[in-house]
Structure 1
């Protein structure tokens, strides 16, 4: 066989082996990426990495009232884009930038409905109690010991001072002494 044919065959064999090696290496890297997630220089099997999600219920002036699962860190505006607002909706009454909390019920008001407290989402009565920072007047009045006046006082405090950061902050609301707070503690949820 002529020397130039041997050189061409050698180059083709070397190229074939090189491409095969690169292809094999790329496949093994992809398998490692699929099987493990690297966090803090520690290799952890991907099935042990928890994906954090929260569940919220959206109702009111939306086309698709439903329970939605969204990633932790989602905001009211994010979930409302999934529920699709109707023409009657008044989203200006809601804080679209507010972070969502697991288990919250968001009621989208219609234009002309009574104003919702700024920065507050509506929340339904849950087995563990009412979320003070997101409850409506009716939901607050479902708590034993809270009538219309105390519910209004809570909502006014929320409008003027923002959300409660602890249960003890409720003591700043007019009409809430130590005994009143203690009796309502099992029914009220504060972050």
Structure 2
């Protein structure tokens, strides 16, 4: 099962960007510089407030401008849905 998940994740990275408003933990961890704890922090943050733009991810503690520079081509922020 883990192998299948990794294959699917690999294809999603090759053919599409990671949506920081909808990505699961594994997808977020595929980004350069985003490990288990930071991926969990992104998910926790967006449960309260979605990201209006890619730059909004810097509101999460430990994620800064350098992270965006390294991953800009692989990041998107889908439209926020009202709760």
Question: Residue 25 of structure 2: which of 137, 159, 168 is its match?
Answer: 137
Assess if the C-alpha contact under 8 Å between 1:130 and 1:140 holds in 2: yes
**TM-score normalised according to structure 1 size:** 0.33
Counterpart residue number, 2:61: 174
More helix by share: 2
Query: How many pairs align?
Result: 67
Q: Highest Rg: 1 or 2?
A: 1
Which runs of 5 or more residues in structure 2 are unaligned?
1-10, 79-83
Cα distance in structure 1, aligned partners of 2:42 and 2:68: 13
**TM-score normalised according to structure 2 size:** 0.70
Q: Counterparts of 1:2-151 in structure 2 under 5 Å? A: 125-126=12-13, 127-151=15-39
Q: How much does 1:125 deviate?
A: 2.5
Question: 1:77-128 deviations in whole A, cap 9, x for unaligned?
Answer: xxxxxxxxxxxxxxxxxxxxxxxxxxxxxxxxxxxxxxxxxxxxxxx83523
Which runs of 5 or more residues in structure 1 are unaligned?
1-123
More strand by share: 1
Assess if the C-alpha contact under 8 Å between 1:128 and 1:189 holds in 2: no
